[in-house]
Amino acid sequence: MSLSFRPHHFLCTLGFEGMGYSPEFVENYTEINDTLQNNEEHPIQVSSGSDSICAVCPHHKEGMCGTEEKIRALDERHCQALELSPGDVLTWAEAKQRIKDKMTLEAFHVACRGCQWKELGLCEKALKNHRGKK
Ligand code: SF4
């Protein structure tokens, strides 16, 4: 499976717990997540636009996110926090290490500002668990 992620989707994937915008979206995301859980050395290319997760999203129209401007700002903040650039390729293990090294709780609150899922607390919990690990 060839994978590309918009910058913010690295952290989303860390906290993925089977929720999403439609049954098809969740099914696709679960398959992607399972692929990475089964092989942490799987490469992921950083995308500047729609990616493997967006592909079946109901808000994805004509190759663009329905809230592209807002998502672009989210991506820029995640790029800054994780020192990512579109075109970079990293394994899921490297991405997790990058998150552990660079995504402090303060950085998370800045990077994820305005995301509709943030208030659920699952991403923050996953980040705290992940960064607490050796
Ligand atoms: S708060 Fe939103 S953008 Fe941030 S990790 Fe969670 S789902 Fe992704």
Tokens representing residue 120 in the block: 């659920």
Check: pTM over 0.85? Answer yes or no.
yes
Instruction: Report whether residue 15 contacts ligand 1, using a CB cutoff of 6 Å.
Output: yes
- Coil, helix or strand for 83? coil
pLDDT digits (tens, 9 = 90+) for 64-118: 999 999 999 999 999 999 999 999 999 999 999 999 999 999 999 999 999 999 9
Beta-carbon count within 10 A of 52 CB: 21
Report CA(39)–ligand 1 centroid distance (Å). Answer: 23
Task: Output the CA torsion 107→18→24→41 (10° steps).
Answer: 70
Q: Is 71 in the pocket of ligand 1 (CB under 6 A)?
A: no
Atom of ligand 1 nearest to the CA of 14: 5
What distance in Å separates the CA atoms of residue 88 and residue 132, rounded to the nearest whole number? Answer: 27
- Ligand 1 close to Cβ of residue 56 (< 6 A): no
